[in-house]
């Protein structure tokens, strides 16, 4: 437990930041999950749209430091691979 006034304030700030970052991570996971479901359903239009939204959210999260650079690259690469697989399978 923090003892000083400044330490107590810092704890409040860190808890608020943690909650905000967790919310962004959860939204990111939901978007990626919806994208994968659309890809598996072979709904090209919706899958393309959801993947674009997911990629934008991934980039924003990495820019803010919520996910690391390599994690960003890996997530984007895997989404692109899945999407391209169904788009070229026609």
User: Which domains are seen in the chain, by residue range?
Assistant: 5-88 (1.20.58.110)
Q: Give the mean model confidence (pLDDT) for residues 20-48.
A: 95
Q: What is the pLDDT of residue 90?
A: 61
Q: Give the mean model confidence (pLDDT) for residues 18-25.
A: 97
What is the biggest distance separating any 2 CA atoms in the chain, rounded to whole angstroms? 65
| pLDDT tens-digit map of 46-89 | 999 999 999 999 999 999 999 999 999 999 999 999 999 998 98
Q: Which two tokens stand for residue 45?
A: 């239009």
CA atoms of 10 and 24, how far apart (whole Å): 21
Q: Which residues contact 35 (CB under 8 A, 6 or more apart)?
A: 47, 50, 51, 53, 54, 79, 83
Q: What is the pLDDT of residue 85?
A: 92
Q: Angle at CA 38, nearest 5°, toward 35 and 44?
A: 110
């Amino acid at each position: 437990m923090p003892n000083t006034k400044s330490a107590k304030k810092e704890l409040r700030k860190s808890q608020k930041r943690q909650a905000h970052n967790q919310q962004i991570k959860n939204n990111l996971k939901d978007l990626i999950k919806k994208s994968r479901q659309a890809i598996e359903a072979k709904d090209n239009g919706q899958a393309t749209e959801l993947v674009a939204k997911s990629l934008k959210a991934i980039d924003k999260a990495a820019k803010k430091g919520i996910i690391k650079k390599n994690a960003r690259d890996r997530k984007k690469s895997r989404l692109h691979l899945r999407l391209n697989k169904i788009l070229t399978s026609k």
